[in-house]
């Protein structure tokens, strides 16, 4: 057979196969028809795997890790603002860029959580950890790890305090000064020594005025925020949400210390207070500092970080400074406040305009912001060591926990209703605010501390 003839036959065979294949294709139907369920693809049947629901929207959030100085440091995460979102992010550890900067985590790999038990009315949250969590960590790292969890979870608006169980059993955890009580609710103050040290103040006046500045007293290792035997009714100062933006006193049941006042102030208004148009001019992500106190001069030294005050060009910057001054001077032993930013003393806004670079601020510097609404008395006496019930002139939200219900609502309403017709807040001239008097010399006898020996957190390798 000639090659040309063979080639032609091969081409003819290939053409025939092509026609047969086309005839076996799926024809197009001219109209809809019923198809047996057996002929359906799996993803179109009831047995198809469920389509995963989209994850809740992620938000920029701050959690806490450990810096190269073994102090807590904040890092940013895009997570859901829930306890689960926070814990999941903590358990994932640090990112590559953070590790390159010396940032680490003290939370060990075997650590897991089961669930959470919230107590919304008190803004408390119990974290139920899996048995064996943190067991491989040293005692020092256990304290850092618990601090990371407490600091991160209390970034949530609905959480002020955190307690822990391990394998379903309440435990004592390492905090500043020793171990907590078993099942004790903790907040940032219990780990204050793990905050980054803030720059102090020199004993000499660095601005060349020639005046000597007394060295501040050392900070306490543990902030007395959670000892229920030391709780008293104090006040912090927030801001009204109306156009005037006056200061307003709100009650708190907290430890009688400058640290406790600032922690409560920087947490902002409670949910109930926010619903009554009370807000704070201090940014939500600001961190409460530990003030130094010059007891002989009656001055509190407060060193803030960049971003802890609103921008210079806003009116809220003056309100935020006033909140700090008014709140700290609730204590009779504090007559004035000095504020710096990262150790640098800067001018600050007052009624008279921008202050000098090293202002000593009192309530008189913010008299225009003094409350002239809601029946609040701007001349209320500062709280001495014998602090008792809250003033009847305080705004009294019913939220328990941070805010203690007061008895002055009726009196405040009557005072407001008796105001002359046609008077307005903006035209009212606030009464000058007096400088708080010296602290009383008498100090009540301390309440005896219960001699309960807490069950320590399991030691490594136990």
| Model confidence pTM above 0.75 | no
The CA distance from 195 to 186, in Å, is 15
What does the chain come to in residues? 462
The residue extents of the domains of the chain are 59-194, 228-417
Tens place of pLDDT for every residue, the chain, 462 residues? 555 555 566 656 665 555 555 555 455 566 666 565 556 555 555 555 454 444 455 567 889 999 999 999 999 998 888 999 999 999 999 998 899 999 999 999 889 999 999 999 889 999 999 999 998 899 899 999 999 999 999 999 889 999 999 999 999 999 998 999 999 999 998 998 998 754 333 333 333 333 333 333 333 333 333 334 468 888 999 999 887 889 999 999 998 899 999 999 999 998 889 889 999 999 988 888 889 999 889 999 999 988 889 887 788 999 999 999 999 999 989 999 999 988 888 889 998 888 877 789 999 999 899 874 333 344 444 555 544 433 333 444 433 333 333 333 333 333 333 333 333 333 444 444 444 444 444 444 444 444 444 445 554 444
Cα–Cα nearest to 316, from 247, 236, 367, 264: 247
């Amino acid at each position: 057979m000639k090659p040309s003839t063979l080639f032609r036959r091969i081409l003819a065979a290939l053409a025939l196969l092509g026609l047969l294949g086309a005839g076996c294709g799926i024809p197009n139907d001219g109209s809809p028809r019923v198809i047996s369920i057996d002929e359906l693809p799996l993803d179109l049947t009831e047995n198809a795997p469920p389509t995963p629901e989209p994850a809740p929207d992620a938000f920029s959030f701050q959690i806490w890790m450990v810096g190269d100085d073994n102090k807590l440091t904040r890092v940013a995460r895009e997570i859901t603002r829930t306890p689960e979102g926070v814990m999941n992010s903590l358990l994932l550890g640090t990112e590559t860029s953070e590790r390159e900067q010396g940032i680490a985590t003290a939370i060990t790999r075997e650590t897991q959580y089961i669930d959470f038990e919230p107590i919304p009315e008190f803004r408390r949250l119990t974290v139920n950890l899996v048995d064996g969590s943190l067991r491989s960590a040293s005692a020092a790292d256990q304290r850092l790890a618990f601090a990371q969890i407490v600091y991160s979870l209390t970034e949530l608006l609905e959480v002020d305090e955190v307690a822990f169980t391990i394998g379903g059993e309440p435990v004592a955890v390492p905090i500043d000064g020793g171990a907590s009580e078993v099942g004790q609710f903790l907040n940032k103050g219990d780990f204050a020594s793990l905050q980054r040290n803030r720059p102090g103040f020199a004993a000499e006046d660095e601005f060349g005025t020639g005046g000597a500045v007394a060295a501040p007293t050392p900070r306490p290792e543990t902030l007395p925020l959670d000892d229920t035997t030391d709780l008293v009714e104090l006040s912090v100062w927030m801001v009204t949400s109306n156009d005037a933006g006056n200061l307003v006193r709100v009650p708190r049941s907290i430890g009688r210390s400058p640290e406790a006042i600032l922690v409560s102030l920087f947490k902002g208004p409670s949910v109930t207070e926010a619903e009554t148009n009370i807000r704070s001019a201090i940014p939500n992500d600001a961190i409460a500092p530990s003030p130094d106190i010059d007891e002989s001069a009656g001055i509190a030294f407060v060193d803030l970080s960049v971003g802890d005050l609103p921008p210079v060009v806003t009116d809220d910057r003056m309100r935020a400074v006033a909140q700090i001054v008014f709140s700290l001077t609730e204590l009779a032993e504090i007559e004035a406040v000095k504020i710096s930013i990262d150790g640098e003393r800067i001018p600050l806004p007052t009624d008279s305009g921008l202050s000098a670079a090293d202002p000593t601020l009192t309530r008189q510097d913010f008299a225009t912001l003094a409350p002239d609404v809601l029946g609040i008395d701007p001349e209320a006496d500062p709280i001495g060591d014998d602090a008792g019930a809250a003033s009847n002139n305080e705004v009294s939200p019913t939220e328990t926990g941070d805010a203690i219900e007061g008895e002055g609502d009726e009196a405040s309403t009557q005072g407001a209703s008796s105001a002359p017709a046609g008077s307005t807040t903006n035209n009212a001239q606030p009464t000058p605010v007096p400088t708080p008097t010296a602290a009383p010399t008498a100090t009540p006898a301390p309440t005896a501390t219960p001699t309960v020996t807490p069950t320590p957190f399991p030691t490594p390798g136990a």
